[in-house]
C-alpha cells in the first residue's frame, strides 16, 4: 500500500537541488506547493512529506515555512549519517530531532539513516543497534538506508563524484547486503529491530534486484519501505511498465513513494538537480502516478500522534 507521497529528496543538498539556480529556494517552495496540491487533488487523505533534508537544519525548515511551503505538507523528514558524512556524533540524534521539533509541529520522519561498511563491517553493526536505541519511539518512521550496496558500476547520485574522496566511495557500502547479495553481519541485527525499523531502497530503472529484495524484506520482517518513482525515468522507453512492475512487487509493504529528479530536457539547466522549467509539469507527473496507483493507496489516514521525547 502507498502510505505517503514524498515531494523531492534532500532539497537542501546540492546533489539533489541546485542552489546556484535557486539560491533562496523560492523555486523549490513553489514546486513543492504545486506538486503537493496536485497529489491532494487526486487523493486528499494521502499524506504529503517534505523531501528529507540533509543536513538536518532547522533554519532551512524555518525558511520554507516563511515561504508558505510547509502549508502544503503533512510531514517533515530528515536524513542523518553521523558515522559517515555529518559533522555531529551518533548520540546527538535525539537533539537533532528536537531541533526540528522546535520549529515545526508537524510529525518528523527519519526517511534515511544508515552506516557504511567502508571502514569496517563491525562499525555498521554498532551504528545500527545504536540508531535503533536512539530513534525508536522518537520518530513514527525510521527508514534504514539501505538493503543493498550500490553496485560499483552504477555511480552514486552526488554532485562531485570521485572528487569527494572517501566521502564518495562510502555511498557504495551502505547496504545490509553486499553487491553480490551476500549478507553483512548487520543484517541479522536489523531483523531484531523490525518492524520498528523500515527500509529505504532505491530501485533503478529495470533493477535486477527487485524480486530478491522483496524476498529479503519478507524474511527480515520489514513492513514499511521508502522508494522512488523518477520523473526523469518516466521519459525512458517502457517506463510505465517498469513503474507498474515495481509498485506491484512492493504492494504488500507500506510504501512512501518519492517523486524527484528533473529530466535534463525539462530543467532550467540540463541536470537532474535543476528546478523544472515548468513546475506544473512535475506536479502533473506526481498526480499521474497517484492516479495510476490509486488502488494501492491506503484508504484512511496513516499519521499517528507525535512520539514523546
- Rounded to whole angstroms, the Cα distance separating 96 from 118 reads 24
Look at the block and give the residue holding cell 526540528: 100
Find out whether the peptide bond into 89 is cis, omega within 30 degrees of 0.
no
- The sign one gets for the Cα dihedral 286, 212, 194, 190 is negative
- What is the mean predicted confidence (pLDDT) over 260-287? 98
Residue that wins the pLDDT comparison between 167 and 207: 207
Strand ranges (E), 38-165 = 48-53, 75-80, 108-113, 142-145
Question: What residues does each domain of the chain span?
Answer: 2-296
State the pLDDT confidence band at 298, using cuts at 50, 70 and 90: confident
Residue 159, pLDDT score:
53
Which parts of 47-182 fold into alpha helices (H)? 58-66, 93-101, 121-135, 166-169
Q: Which of 4, 9, 1, 107 is nearest to 48 (CA)?
A: 4
**How many Cβ atoms sit within 10 Å of the Cβ of residue 145?**
23
Task: Return the H-helix or E-strand segment holding 251.
Answer: none
Contacts of residue 300, defined as CB under 8 A and 6 or more positions apart, other chains included, come to 45
Contact indicator for 185, 122 with CB cutoff of 8 Å: yes
Residue range 262-279: average pLDDT? Answer: 98
Inform me whether the pLDDT recorded for 183 exceeds 90: yes
- pLDDT for 95-113, tens place per residue? 999 999 999 999 999 999 9
Q: Output the pLDDT for position 308.
A: 47
Whole-number percent of the chain with pLDDT over 70: 93
Could you read off the pLDDT of 186-219 as tens digits, one per residue?
999 999 999 999 999 999 999 999 999 999 999 9
Residue 25 CA to its chain's centroid (Å): 19
The pLDDT of residue 20 is 97
Specify the 3-state DSSP secondary structure of 88: coil
- The pLDDT-based confidence of 309 (bands split at 50, 70, 90) is very low
Q: Residue 89 — very low, low, confident or very high, per pLDDT cuts 50/70/90?
A: very high
Rounded Cα distance, 76 and 104, in Å? 8
Is residue 59 over pLDDT 60? yes
Strand-pairing partners, residue 48, are 5
Burial 95-105 (b: 16+ CB within 10 A, else e): ebbebbbebbe
- Mean pLDDT across 162-173: 72
- Helix or strand run (H / E) with residue 198: strand 198-200
State the pLDDT at residue 166: 63
Instruction: Give the Å distances, CA to CA, from 276 to 122, 135, 281.
Output: 42, 35, 8
Q: What is the mean pLDDT of the chain?
A: 94
In 3D space, the residue among 296, 304, 248 whose CA is nearest the CA of residue 43 turns out to be 296
Tens of pLDDT, residue by residue over 221-239, are: 999 999 999 999 999 999 9
Task: Supply the pLDDT for residue 184.
Answer: 98
CATH no., domain 2-296: 3.20.20
CA-CA-CA-CA dihedral for 12, 14, 16, 20, to nearest 10: 100
Amino acid at each position: 500500500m502507498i502510505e505517503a507521497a514524498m515531494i523531492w529528496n534532500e532539497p537542501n543538498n546540492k546533489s539533489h537541488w541546485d542552489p546556484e539556480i535557486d539560491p533562496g529556494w523560492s523555486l523549490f517552495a513553489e514546486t513543492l506547493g504545486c506538486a503537493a496540491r496536485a497529489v491532494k487533488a487526486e487523493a486528499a487523505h494521502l499524506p504529503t512529506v517534505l523531501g528529507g533534508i540533509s543536513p538536518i537544519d532547522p533554519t532551512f525548515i524555518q525558511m520554507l515555512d516563511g515561504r508558505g511551503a510547509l502549508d502544503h505538507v503533512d510531514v517533515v523528514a530528515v536524513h542523518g549519517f553521523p558515522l559517515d558524512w555529518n559533522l555531529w556524533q551518533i548520540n546527538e540524534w535525539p537533539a537533532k530531532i528536537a531541533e526540528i521539533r522546535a520549529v515545526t509541529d508537524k510529525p518528523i520522519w527519519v526517511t534515511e539513516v544508515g552506516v557504511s561498511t567502508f571502514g569496517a563491517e563491525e562499525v555498521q553493526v554498532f551504528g545500527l543497534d545504536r540508531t535503533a536505541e536512539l530513534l525508536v519511539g522518537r520518530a513514527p518512521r525510521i527508514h534504514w538506508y539501505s538493503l543493498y550496496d550500490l553496485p560499483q558500476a552504477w555511480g552514486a547520485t552526488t554532485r562531485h563524484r570521485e572528487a569527494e574522496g572517501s566521502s564518495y566511495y562510502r555511498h557504495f557500502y551502505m547496504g545490509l547486503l553486499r553487491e553480490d547479495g551476500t549478507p553483512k553481519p548487520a543484517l541479522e541485527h536489523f531483523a531484531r529491530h523490525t518492524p520498528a525499523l523500515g527500509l529505504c531502497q532505491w530501485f533503478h530503472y529495470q533493477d535486477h534486484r527487485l524480486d530478491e529484495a522483496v524476498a529479503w524484506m519478507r524474511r527480515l520482517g520489514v513492513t514499511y519501505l521508502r522508494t522512488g518513482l523518477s520523473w526523469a525515468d518516466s521519459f525512458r522507453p517502457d517506463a510505465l511498465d517498469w513503474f507498474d512492475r515495481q509498485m506491484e512487487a512492493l504492494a504488500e509493504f507500506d510504501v512512501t513513494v518519492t517523486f524527484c529528479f528533473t529530466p535534463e530536457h525539462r530543467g532550467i539547466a540540463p541536470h537532474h538537480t535543476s528546478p523544472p522549467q515548468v513546475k506544473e509539469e512535475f506536479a502533473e507527473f506526481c498526480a499521474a502516478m497517484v492516479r495510476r496507483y490509486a488502488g494501492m493507496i491506503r484508504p484512511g489516514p496513516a499519521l499517528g500522534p507525535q512520539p514523546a521525547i
